Chains A and B, each alone.
Chain A
């Protein structure tokens, strides 16, 4: 199906484990973004990518790694998960940067125990 998808939708992991959240879009959008949503903080940008092989840090990048070898995929890896990374993670994409609308995935709820 066309659109932007995230997997898994729910994940429970233990402190110290590595976990990868997947994001896939079928529009060939240039830009992709990862946000985390926490109560009282709204959405905060973790990393974003302007094109394949181009990534840049957002507001809260520490503890996260991203890659973008293909335009359609933008995985987010927590190298050693911590409880403070318990959150809902949203991936988004946009046709270009600037003022273009961002389209959001359904989110991944991650719990780190």
Chain B
């Protein structure tokens, strides 16, 4: 499958903004997603963006999509300790399958 790349680790202070980046490889992706995995749990959908959009905002979350560079980012404003988790980007390509990135572990420090 195609590789979806993320940095493995990000550490921020509580109250700061977090930016998690993702590079995907398939330009035909129709939807791109951000999932959150809390310790010992499965993944939960956080937000998604359709490929014809550049930006999507949902409360503290902002998703930016740069199709030319195949770059997706998730910005979390006013990061809280409860945001500590692993964040996965994923791309949907026709064929009913998602390809997930390697995951970024976000650690929020007091």
> What is the interface of chain A, defined by CB distance below 8 A to chain B?
31, 35, 40-45, 48, 50, 58-59, 90, 92, 97-99, 101-102, 104-107
Q: List 13 additional contacts besides A42-B103, A50-B96, A98-B96; criterion CB under 8 Å.
A: A31-B96, A35-B100, A40-B8, A42-B100, A42-B101, A44-B1, A48-B96, A48-B97, A90-B43, A99-B92, A101-B45, A104-B42, A107-B42
A43/B100 contact (C-beta < 8 A), A59-B1, A99-B30, A99-B31 known:
yes
> B88 — which chain A residues lie within 8 A by C-beta?
42-43
The answer to whether A45 and B98 have CB atoms under 8 Å apart is yes
Are B4's CB and A42's CB within 8 A?
Answer: yes
Q: Which 3 A-B pairs have the closest CB atoms?
A: A97-B96, A104-B42, A43-B100
In the complex, the answer to whether B42 meets A106 with C-beta atoms within 8 Å is yes
Interface residue? B80 (CB, 8 A): no
Which A residue's beta carbon lies closest to that of B42?
A: A104
User: Cα distance A99–B94 when bound, in Å?
Assistant: 9
List the B side residues contacting A45 at CB < 8 Å: 1, 97-99
